[in-house]
Amino acid sequence: MDVSRQQSEPSPERGPRARTRKLMLETATRLMQSGFTPSVSEVAEAAEVSRATAYRYFPSQAALVHAVVDEALGPILDWRSDAPDALTRIADLLATAMPRIDEFEATFKAALKLSLDQWAQRQAGTLGNEPQFMRGHRVELLRQATAPLEGKVSKESREQLAQALSLVFGLEVLIVLKDIWGLSAERAQSVAEWAAAALVEAAVREAQTAAP
């Protein structure tokens, strides 16, 4: 029996396979958006398929979360901006991404948890070359957002700025500001926007004083 075909082939758009997979994904997404991170068994029950079938499509909770994350990430990865200044781009990026992350908070937290698991297992030496969580989309998005600064600040400064900006943009921001400080999602985003603006302005100002 050629097991390898089942998942490796880019799963046909039609037929029972696609139908069941879609059913499970929608069920999982719905459950996760309600703030709960289900096991494969629980999705199976909610979708009214047998456990065995569920495990055929998603061999682990990790695979399940991975798939839902891809759904949730869609609009964020499609983000583009041709605004002429970096400040506007950053604000726009945050306005696009942060509400989406908040909407899928449970999903992203589950993904973070899994990435921490993977990290721990790498430390222990139990290393399977599994698909990575935390794939660093932030890097590309922030390079895109800080592109208007090319020429205005040095390459090194731009890189450092992008790195600093990645600290005020993402799930971690919501964790810290909502769970520790008790802020609302809106207030958290506002703080993040203020911080992001401050960082951009600092980078620009430094470049100006260095070479006036």
Partner DNA sequence: AAAATTATGAGATGTGCGTATCGTAAAGAT
Partner DNA sequence: ATCTTTACGATACGCACATCTCATAATTTT
**Interface with DNA (CB under 7 A):** 6, 14-17, 19-20, 39-42, 48-53, 55-56, 59-62
The entry of DNA, its own copies, none near residue 160 (CB within 5 to 8 angstroms by kind) is its own copies
Beta-bridge partners for 150: 153
Tell me the residue length of the chain.
Answer: 212
Site string for its own copies, 109-128 (x = CB under 8 A): xx-xx-xxx-xx--xx----
Query: Quick one: which segment of 16-24, 68-76, 148-156, 189-197 binds its own copies (CB under 8 A)?
Result: 189-197
6 vs 184 by CB, closer to DNA: 6
- Nearest approach, Cβ of residue 168 and DNA (Å): 33
49 vs 134 by CB, closer to its own copies: 134
Residue (of 106, 115, 113) closest to 29 by Cα position: 106
The entry of its own copies, DNA, none near residue 117 (CB within 5 to 8 angstroms by kind) is its own copies
Number of Cβ within a 10 Å radius of residue 136 = 9
Interface size with its own copies, residues (CB under 8 A): 46
Which two tokens mark 100? 């989406």
Q: Is 134 in the site for its own copies (CB under 8 A)?
A: yes
| 71, 75, 78, 84: CA torsion to nearest 10 | -160
120 vs 198 by CB, closer to DNA: 120
Cβ–Cβ < 8 Å for 153, 204: yes
Q: How far apart are CA 111 and CA 62, in angstroms?
A: 8
| Burial class, 166, CB count within 10 angstroms (exposed 0-12 / middle 13-18 / buried 19+) | middle
